[in-house]
C-alpha cells in the first residue's frame, strides 16, 4: 500500500543476525509522531530502540519477548492517519448546585454475627470490636477456616512464573560455560592497604570535583594501576587465537557494569593515553549508558582486560570469571577495616582483597603473581605514578 511504510528490525552490529524484541513502547493502533520510539530490541551485545521514520498509525508485525532475524518487518505505519493536537475541554463552573437527596445508610442485617441481646449495649460494642480486630488480622472464624483448608486440593504447588531469556542473558550464559570448558582458568589473590588512597581522595576530592566536574573514585586509580602492571607483564593483556598469541594495539580495559538486563562490559580504550580525570569521565559515561540501555556495539569492541568491582555490593572475596577471549580479569572487593601487622605492630587498616583470574595457557603463575603485586604496589603508593618510579 502507498500509505503504509514498513519498518524493519535493524542490525546493532555487522555480525548480528538475530535480535530479541524485549518490549513494545507504544500500543497497537496508536497514532505516533515521526521519530517516536516504537519498540526495544536486544542483541547479544547491545540494546537499542526502533524509531518511527514517519508519523502515522502503528500496526505491529512482531510480538514482545520473541527473537526474529534481522530485517524482519517489525511495524507497518499507516501514514493516512496523522496525530492531532489535543485540546483540553474546560467545564464551566456550576453556579447553582441542586441539593441531592441524602443517602440513607444501609440497614443492618437482621441477625449479624455476634449480635448481643437487646438491652446490653456494652456487650454489643465489645463483640463488634472483637470481630473488627479478628478480621483486621486476616483471620476467619474457626468453622470457615476449616472448610477452606479441607476444600484445598492436596499436593498443589505454588504457581511458577516463567520468562524467556533475553539474547544478552543467553549469550552471557554460553560464554561463561565456554570459559569453564575451554580455558585453563586459575585465580591468585592479594590484599591492598587502602589508607593512602582514602587519604588522597579525602584531601583532594573537593578540588578535583571543582576542576573536572566529576568525583574521584577508586576505579580510575585501579585502571591506571592495571595499565602499569600490563606494561610490565604484557602476556596478561594478550589473547589466544587458535595457535597464535594476539598482542593488542594498546591497553583497552573493560569495566563490568551491572544493569537490569544483566552484566555488560563496555570498554575504555587506550587507557595508556588517558589521565585520571579522563578515565573517571569515560567510566561514568559508559555506566550511565549501560543503565539506560543505550550502549552500542562499538562500546564493547576491542577489550583486552577487564576490571570488575564486587565490592560495591558488599563482596569480601570472589574468583572473577574471565571475559572471553581475554586472558585476565581483576576483581576488586569491599574495603573493610581489620587488624594487620605494620612494622611489627598491630594496626587497624582499611584493607581490600584483590583477585586476578587468568588463563594459564598463556599466562604463567609467576607473571600472574607479579602482575597482582604490581597493582598492589601502585595502589598503596600512588605517588610512584606521579614520580614515574
Residues annotated as catalytic (active site), given as ranges: 360, 364
User: What is the grid cell recorded at 235?
Assistant: 602476556
Integer Cα distance of 56 and 27 in angstroms: 13
User: What is the grid cell recorded at 12?
Assistant: 546493532
CB 28 within 8 A of CB 74: no
- CA-nearest of 84, 82, 24, 38 to 57 is 82
Q: How far is CA 387 from the centre of its chain?
A: 38
CB 333 within 8 A of CB 316: yes
With residue 372 as reference, give the H or E element that holds it: helix 365-380
Cα distances (angstroms) measured from residue 238 to each of 178, 219, 244, 249: 18, 22, 10, 10
- CA-nearest of 67, 46, 65, 14 to 264 is 46
DSSP 131-183: HHHHHHTT---HHHHHHHHHHSPTT--PPP---PPPHHHHHHHHHHHHHHHHS
Which residues, in sequence order, are CB contacts of 13 under 8 Å at separation 6+? 43, 45, 46, 297
Integer Cα distance of 127 and 117 in angstroms: 11
Integer Cα distance of 75 and 9 in angstroms: 9
Query: In 3-state terms, the chain is what percent helix, strand and coil (to 5)?
Result: 35, 25, 40
Residue 358: exposure state from Cβ atoms within 10 A (0-12, 13-18, ≥19): buried
User: What is the grid cell recorded at 345?
Assistant: 605492630
Amino acid at each position: 500500500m502507498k500509505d503504509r511504510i514498513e519498518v524493519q528490525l535493524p542490525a546493532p552490529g555487522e555480525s548480528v543476525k538475530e535480535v530479541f524484541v524485549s518490549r513494545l513502547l507504544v500500543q497497537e493502533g496508536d497514532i505516533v509522531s515521526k521519530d517516536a520510539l516504537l519498540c526495544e530490541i536486544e542483541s547479544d551485545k547491545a540494546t537499542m530502540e526502533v524509531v518511527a521514520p514517519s508519523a502515522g498509525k502503528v500496526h505491529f508485525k512482531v510480538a514482545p519477548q520473541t527473537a526474529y532475524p534481522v530485517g524482519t518487518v517489525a511495524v507497518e505505519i499507516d501514514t493516512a492517519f496523522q496525530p492531532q493536537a489535543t485540546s483540553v475541554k474546560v467545564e464551566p463552573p456550576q453556579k447553582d448546585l441542586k441539593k441531592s437527596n441524602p443517602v440513607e445508610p444501609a440497614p443492618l442485617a437482621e441477625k449479624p454475627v455476634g449480635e448481643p441481646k437487646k438491652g446490653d449495649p456494652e456487650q454489643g460494642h465489645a463483640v463488634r470490636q472483637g470481630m473488627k480486630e479478628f478480621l483486621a488480622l486476616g483471620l476467619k472464624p474457626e468453622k470457615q477456616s476449616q472448610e477452606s483448608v479441607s476444600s484445598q486440593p492436596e499436593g498443589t504447588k505454588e504457581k511458577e512464573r516463567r520468562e524467556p531469556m533475553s539474547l544478552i542473558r543467553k549469550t552471557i550464559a554460553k560464554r561463561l560455560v565456554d570459559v569453564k570448558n575451554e580455558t585453563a582458568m586459575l585465580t591468585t589473590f592479594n590484599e591492598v592497604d587502602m589508607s593512602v588512597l582514602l587519604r588522597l581522595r579525602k584531601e583532594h576530592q573537593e578540588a578535583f570535583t571543582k576542576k573536572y566536574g566529576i568525583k574521584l573514585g577508586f576505579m580510575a586509580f585501579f585502571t591506571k594501576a592495571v595499565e602499569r602492571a600490563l606494561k610490565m607483564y604484557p602476556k596478561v593483556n594478550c589473547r589466544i587465537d587458535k595457535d597464535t598469541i594476539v598482542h593488542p594495539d594498546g591497553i583497552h580495559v573493560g569495566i563490568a557494569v551491572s544493569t537490569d538486563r544483566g552484566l555488560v562490559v563496555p570498554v575504555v580504550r587506550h587507557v595508556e593515553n588517558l589521565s585520571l580525570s579522563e578515565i573517571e569521565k569515560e567510566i561514568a559515561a559508559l555506566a550511565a549508558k549501560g543503565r539506560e540501555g543505550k550502549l552500542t556495539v562499538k562500546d564493547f569492541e576491542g577489550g583486552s582486560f577487564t576490571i570488575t568491582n564486587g565490592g560495591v555490593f558488599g563482596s569480601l572475596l570472589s574468583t572473577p570469571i574471565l571475559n572471553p577471549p581475554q586472558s585476565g580479569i581483576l576483581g576488586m572487593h569491599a574495603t573493610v577495616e581489620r587488624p594487620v601487622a605494620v612494622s611489627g605492630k598491630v594496626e587497624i587498616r582499611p584493607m581490600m582483597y584483590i583477585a586476578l583470574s587468568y588463563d594459564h595457557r598463556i599466562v604463567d603463575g609467576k607473571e600472574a603473581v607479579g602482575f597482582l603485586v604490581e597493582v598492589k604496589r601502585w595502589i598503596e603508593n600512588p605517588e610512584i605514578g606521579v614520580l614515574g618510579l
